[in-house]
A and B are shown apart, each in its own frame.
Chain A
Amino acid sequence: MEKVVRGFYSIAHSVKLCKPNVIAAYPITPQTEIVENLAEMYANGELGDCEYVTAESEFGAASILVGASAAGARTFTATCSQGLILMSEVLINAAGMRLPIVLVNTNRALSAPLSIWNDHQDSMVLRDGGLMQIHVETNQEAHDMVPVAFKVAEDHKVMLPFMINMDGYKLTHAYEPIDLLEQEMVDTFLPPYNPPVYMTTKDPLTFGSYAPPQYYAEFRVALQNAMERARKVLEKAYKEWAEITGRDWGGHIVAEGVEDADLVAISMGSLTGMVRDVISELRNQGKKVGLLKIRTFRPFPAKEVRGALKDAEKILVFERAVSFGHGGPVGMEVKSACFGLTPEFYSFAVGLGGRDVPREEIVRIISDVYYGKVDQGFHFGTVKPFEEVIV
């Protein structure tokens, strides 16, 4: 059924169809409307066997989901920015405990200074935590990925927390015509949560043991193994869901026009749409440029990225975050995947703190790189000149 709805509603609708058992909510701009929509559905009895609470903090919300997931419930929450960082202790703990908590992170900049607007700094901080992460470009993609997230997280070969990153405001609050999923379609794809083990008096087990040095390393290897297994599981889920819905969003990456491209631009999230538009116009002008959209961020699709970039002479990464003291995080990941290849490498951090990235800026950046007008390495996008003072 097609309806013009805002991004946050499309998430709430999709979560409802996945039949979660426990939702723990806490408000933070700009994801609040996701949990508000879920609360309305709960108040009207539309969520079935689900308990919904507003927790006392994001930390409390995530902790509630740890207990609920360990007891055998399907769990969901949404957060971003300061809330994501606050619950990071719990999410990393949940990754180690192998609990398949699903959350939507509406990418928002980090304090200080406080900003409620969009960039990817929040999810980048959790790169190393052990959570699976994907980025979506449109609200339809976000809507479609929620059942995939549950299915992959709960797969017995995986059992990891799963974070769907969608750009705050740019996607969450945008109106888009969405082909809303139907319950039967989701039911054929996503069975009820069947945990391999859970807390019950019939089989009393101890969850969350501590590990002295003779065991700890093996647990972390097991976590890495789960991430590695998740590659195939996620890819298979993408394919299966594409067949059921008729919408194919691609695999871990989407490579467009990279086979003969001299310059490949790389992007994640909603900015990809604008970059694609510029790339196709430059193509029409005869320039050899291509686009690499990265969808799965963790586990990082190094093999696929390297395969797409092996013939490129220039690689240009559009960053939405900064790793202070080094450079752009996505660029670092791509560079390490391409170790041994010898292209020129450029990365530009654009749209920090929700600053608009106009078409002209993308055109200028791509041209500057294409015509060799800038040095390699990390740069900031359009930044006004400023002087640092005390007061």
Chain B
Amino acid sequence: MNYFGPGHGACPGCGLTIATRNVLEALEGKCFVANSTGCLEIVSSQYERSAWGVPYIHSLFENAGAVAAGIDLALKALKRKGEGKVVVFAGDGATADIGIGTLSGMFDRNHDVIYICLDNEAYQNTGNQQSGLTPLGSNTTTTPVGELFPGKMGRKKDMVSIAVAHGIPYVATASVAFHADLRRKVKKAAEIEGAKYIQIHSPCVTGWGIDGKQTILSAKLAYETALYPIVEYENGELTRVRKIKERKPVEEYLKIQRRFRHLFKHPKGKEIISMLQKIADENAAKFNLDV
């Protein structure tokens, strides 16, 4: 099980590296990785200190989708298609914001690429700035808590719907809390021809303000409160969801993270918490998550 690490520079308890290891494990290392600039790239691809045991390329911040498309085309042209799967590892900022153009083009042309979005819900490598996938109420350095604002006032971009709208054959969300499910989804994606999108919820100990011992717990609570639905779409149809036996109120998830703790004290905090609860309820209704 040694396609990634050890010796990389990630924070102790980093969710991204857990997700990456499991993706590579599911593919048995038979893959070509295109990685965008970000935490994963910085901790693992320093010159002469590479943690990668698979063929890997890092180009720029916003073009991992296009670089992967290029590898896919080259393998086709050079008749080397069976050599391995083309995989993208990109953060939430690289996926939903700066790289959405190249992502859209790659999906639209349906390249045979597995696009893994490692969702730690902000631009964490530069110190926790808000991205399109930062949830409502988060305390980030560009949406800080102040007298006027209780953190981010916008919503979390629905990348899953955007991916489904491109008509690609497989779209799923996953979480490091359910590693066997994550590997199953990657294995399934590897068997499908065309563009695949898997968004993996990866807690960030430094940015979210949790301890390594709470990494897996916070991912689990995100699922249990229905704030992060674990779903699967095949050919545009919702085929599978991970149901929740006993849905927890969102406060259970929010209170253990420093980035949300202000909501329990700020004058506008209660309003934000009830908005988050509404989002959770809507998710549960939309995907029929409650058992």
Contact = CB atoms under 8 A, between A and B. Distances in A.
Determine direct contact between A and B, CB below 8 Å: yes
Nearest to A74: B77
Interface string A291-312: 0000000000000000000000
B59 A90 contact: yes
Nearest to B85: A201
Residue among A22, A49, A64, A73 with the most chain B CB within 10 A?
A64
Interface stretch (B100-108, B181-189, B266-274): B100-108
A93 B59 contact: yes
A220 to B, nearest CB: 13
Contacts of A57: 101-102, 105
Nearest to B44: A206
B78 A73 contact: yes
Given A68-B74, A73-B74, A200-B83, A209 B58 contact: yes
Contacts of B104: 56
Contacts of A209: 45-48, 50, 58
A203 B102 CA distance: 28
A97 interface: yes
A269 to B, nearest CB: 31
B70 A66 contact: yes
B46 A56 contact: no
B70 A63 contact: yes
A339 B55 CA distance: 48
A71 B32 contact: yes
Interface string A41-58: 000000001110101110
A199 B73 CA distance: 13
Contacts of A24: 70, 73
Given A59-B63, A71-B32, A201 B55 contact: yes
A312 to B, nearest CB: 45
Contact of A199 (B41, B69, B71): B71
A74 to B, nearest CB: 9
Nearest to B45: A209
Interface stretch (A137-145, A210-218, A245-253, A364-372): A210-218
A72 interface: yes
Contacts of A75: 70
B10 to A, nearest CB: 15
Interface in A180-210: 199-210
A65 interface: yes
B84 interface: yes
A361 interface: no
A64 B67 contact: yes
B76 interface: yes
Contacts of A207: 55-58
Contacts of A260: none
A361 B148 CA distance: 65
B222 interface: no
A20 to B, nearest CB: 9
B74 A22 contact: yes
A72 B71 CA distance: 9
A56 to B, nearest CB: 3
A97 B67 CA distance: 13
B74 A60 contact: no
Interface in B120-153: none
A70 interface: yes
A67 B79 contact: no
A162 to B, nearest CB: 18
A21 interface: yes
A40 interface: no
A71 B74 contact: yes
B70 to A, nearest CB: 3
A208 B45 contact: yes
A204 B54 contact: yes
B39 interface: no
A53 B73 contact: yes
A212 B46 contact: yes
B73 A68 contact: yes
B46 A51 contact: no
Residue among B70, B72, B73, B75 with the most chain A CB within 10 A?
B70
29 contacts: A22-B70, A50-B77, A57-B101, A59-B63, A60-B63, A60-B102, A61-B66, A63-B63, A64-B66, A65-B70, A67-B67, A67-B68, A67-B70, A70-B67, A70-B71, A73-B77, A90-B59, A199-B55, A199-B57, A201-B54, A204-B52, A204-B56, A206-B58, A208-B57, A210-B41, A210-B58, A211-B46, A212-B46, A215-B48
